[in-house]
Copies of this chain bind each other. A is one copy, B any other.
Amino acid sequence: MNAPSDLQATLDPSRKSWVESANDSSNDFSIQNLPFGVFSDALNATRRVGVAIGESIVDLAVLESAGLLTLPTSGAGDSVFVRDALNDFIALGRDAWRGVRIQLSKLLSRDNATLREDAELRSRALIRQADAQLHLPVQIPGYTDFYSSKEHATNVGSMFRDPKNALLPNWSEMPIGYNGRASSVVVSGTPVRRPNGQLKLPDQERPVFGACRKLDIELETGFVIGAGNALGEPVACADAEAHIFGMVLLNDWSARDIQQWEYVPLGPFNAKTFATTISPWIVTLDALEPFRVAQPAQEPQPLAYLRHDGEHAFDITLEVKLRPQQANQASTISRTNFKHMYWTMAQQVAHHTVSGCNTRVGDLMGSGTISGPTEDSFGSLLELTWNGKKPLELQEGGTRSFIEDGDELTLAGWCQGEGYRVGFGACVGEILPALK
């Protein structure tokens, strides 16, 4: 077991690293962060587990074999760090995650000489991010997407249903969610091809087949299940956060025209299944602890199975940038915050499992589009341009109603501490033209 004081020390804002780039208060990967990912590099094509620190990655397998990193259950056989996904490490449980966090925080501290002064080991254990390739961090057995921003649900309801009754009655009673497609979740940097599909044009009786004309983003976060639950055994809301390993940024690419034609009555399908992009680093809930804030007041009071005491939102600044193919400069098209979300991650887990549905290590749960209260804080172009009626002026590259071929979309997110940042790194995708 890890001492609570050791875990608390990993959050000390005054702790600095001998990896100097980590001490820059605008670098996502401070020593307080220590997010987990999977990487390879030109010298070693084997995919393995790493932790981001400043502009570098720590190779956990190297530290483990050097005896500097021990796991509570060091099984026989291969290291859980020499894997193409984090699942086996995550499955060791929260004590293991915390133990690694505590040990890494010490090893990377400015006042710790062990690794700092061992040039040979350091050269093997630290890889520059610029030299590494980042891969999908987890093998995802199931992907669920929620719809938990009141502002987003209200905006969409206003546009497509009834502005006077924009929010459906069930929305305020439960974190509405639906099953997504896990196979097409890709890591940041993977190009995304514009989908073809059925489009129902207003002036034609029958749909036509063609490339999506209303391609959109959805600015979301996702969380990764760290401890599953057995079929038939719901997770109580008060226990739910212990089932969460950490968070990522998530872009739920959406083909609005395909969606509008297909989604009644069984929900979005082809409009979403062509790609979902996540950021490569999983930021643990432990690292996010200092940024815990109160969720919005919930009225009506949720049913008992959705109640929890205390604060369950997190203060995470989020932004979206769009860079046209020929432009040097990206335009920030949205800036918002995760703390606006009405339903919490804990409530999402409790609702997901209340029927007895099981979850598994590595399951990904999307927040739903995160829209803030102001027009410049909406999390989709659908809302930002009000379904194309109010095109956005970019700083360079013209205007946008929806995404054009060659556009590069980047989500960013971070918590700003005193002199340090706990950030997610970028979640990027460039749009390729549709297949002919």
Complex alpha-carbon distance, A177 and B356, angstroms: 23
Contact B264 A179 (CB under 8 A): no
Known: A173-B198, A261-B170, A262-B176. A183 touches B147 (CB 8 A): no
**In chain A between 228 and 256, which residues have their CB closer than 8 angstroms to a CB of chain B?**
231-232, 234, 255
Among the 9-residue stretches A25-33, A93-101, A309-317, A357-365, the one with 4 or more Cβ atoms under 8 Å from chain B is: A357-365
Cβ-neighbour of A255 out of B195, B208, B304, B355 (below 8 A): B355
Contact A357 B305 (CB under 8 A): no
Cβ-neighbour of A268 out of B231, B266, B303, B356 (below 8 A): B266
Contact B179 A181 (CB under 8 A): yes
Residue interface bits A364-376, CB-to-B below 8 A is 1, else 0: 0000000000000
Give min CB distance, A289 to chain B, whole Å. Answer: 29
Asked if A429 is at the interface (CB within 8 A of a chain B CB), the reply is no
- Which chain B residue lies CB-closest to A305? B209
Asked if A389 is at the interface (CB within 8 A of a chain B CB), the reply is no
Contacts of A275 in B (CB 8 A): 231, 356
Asked if A186 is at the interface (CB within 8 A of a chain B CB), the reply is yes
Contacts of A208 in B (CB 8 A): 303
Contact B263 A265 (CB under 8 A): yes
Complex alpha-carbon distance, A197 and B353, angstroms: 10
Contacts of A356 in B (CB 8 A): 184, 193, 195-196, 274-275, 435
- Which chain B residue lies CB-closest to A303? B209
Looking at chain A, what size class is its interface with the partner chain? 35 or more
Asked if A182 is at the interface (CB within 8 A of a chain B CB), the reply is yes
Contact A266 B177 (CB under 8 A): yes
Give min CB distance, A109 to chain B, whole Å. Answer: 40
Complex alpha-carbon distance, A263 and B200, angstroms: 23
Residue interface bits A256-282, CB-to-B below 8 A is 1, else 0: 001001111111111101110000000
Give min CB distance, A47 to chain B, whole Å. Answer: 18
- Which chain B residue lies CB-closest to A194? B356
Contact A267 B270 (CB under 8 A): no
Contacts of A195 in B (CB 8 A): 354-356
Asked if A178 is at the interface (CB within 8 A of a chain B CB), the reply is yes
Cβ-neighbour of A183 out of B141, B181, B200 (below 8 A): B141
Complex alpha-carbon distance, A84 and B363, angstroms: 21
Contact B170 A258 (CB under 8 A): no
Contact B355 A183 (CB under 8 A): no
Contact A174 B193 (CB under 8 A): no
Residue interface bits A196-223, CB-to-B below 8 A is 1, else 0: 1110100000111100000000000000
26 A–B contact pairs at CB < 8 A? A141-B182, A141-B183, A142-B181, A142-B182, A142-B183, A168-B264, A173-B198, A174-B198, A174-B262, A178-B266, A178-B267, A179-B269, A183-B358, A183-B363, A193-B232, A195-B354, A196-B355, A196-B356, A206-B300, A208-B303, A231-B274, A231-B275, A234-B435, A266-B267, A266-B268, A273-B357
Chain A to chain B: the 8 pairs with minimum beta-carbon distance, closest first: A267-B267, A179-B179, A195-B355, A273-B357, A178-B266, A270-B355, A274-B355, A266-B267
